[in-house]
Amino acid sequence: MTTKRLAILLAIVGLGLSTVFLLPKSAAQPTGLQLTGEEEVAMPEDVSGWFGRSGEITQKERDTLGKGTKFGRMIYSHPVARSGYELLVSVVLSGHDMSNSIHRPERCLDAQGWSILESEEVAVHLEGRGTFPTTRLHTRRSVQLKTGTTATQEAFTFYWFVGENEITGSHWERFFQDNRDRLLRGVNQRWAFIMVTAAIPIREKPEEQAEAKRWVDMTARKFIKDFAPLLHKGTLHYQ
């Protein structure tokens, strides 16, 4: 019995050591995002008439997500689409410790006080390239109005992950693809996640609120179709 156990233990150790040869062969971290010369995320200032201004990235975010993590954050507004309406776009490009840099966006929203009402996959079609998946979250939280009263604010948040060549709207699909490529291709790719958050204007009448939801959903999807080609490299694979 002791000999049999020792043989099993040696086999397990041998198998574990053999995976060393399957680990990434290079320190290079390829990514599917457009970067500037300083390896910052190249956030466009104009997306089909939506004009962006830089959004704040807090020191707490930088400290939490770790060394080498790159950020992009813009607040986009459109002078014609709807006066005063804005879209918040955040991009996180993984650093040296991807386990800290890249995580399920639901964690961020939960920490900000949002409750998730619904989650569904939404396909986005880019003319001449193909289709890629995103996840759309319908969220809600209580907010304080200028009048001093409390109201319920709803929003749609769309997110997706971009690797060296792959795009997915699923955290677990990204996790599988990343580990597959590390083991089988020896590639330590640099993943990113992109989030587009679109608040739903608060309306008093139910029919007006329903119309506001439809408008926001349509507006966010159209924005993503125009925004993604400016951020994605041409090497990414589409469905």
Task: Provide the pLDDT for residue 231.
Answer: 93
Task: Provide the pLDDT for residue 120.
Answer: 95
User: What is the spatial distance between Cα 230 and Cα 239, in angstroms, rounded to a whole number?
Assistant: 18
Q: How many helices (DSSP H) and strands (DSSP E) are in the chain?
A: 6, 9
User: 8: part of which helix (H) or strand (E)?
Assistant: helix 2-18
Q: Where are the domains of the chain?
A: 28-231
- In the block, tokens 């939960």 appear at 110
Alpha-carbon distances of 56 from 62, 72, 74, 90, 202, rounded to whole Å: 11, 9, 8, 10, 25
User: 208: part of which helix (H) or strand (E)?
Assistant: helix 206-231
What is the pLDDT tens value at each position of the chain, 239 positions in all?
455 555 554 444 444 434 433 444 444 577 888 887 666 788 999 999 999 999 887 787 777 776 778 888 999 998 876 667 999 999 988 876 666 667 777 777 777 778 889 999 999 999 889 999 999 999 998 877 777 788 888 999 999 999 988 999 998 898 888 888 888 877 778 889 999 999 999 888 989 999 999 999 999 999 999 999 999 998 899 98
User: 170: part of which helix (H) or strand (E)?
Assistant: none
Q: For residue 126, with 0-12 CB atoms within 10 Å meaning exposed, 13-18 middle and 19 or more buried, which class applies?
A: middle
Task: Provide the pLDDT for residue 115.
Answer: 86
Task: Provide the pLDDT for residue 5.
Answer: 53
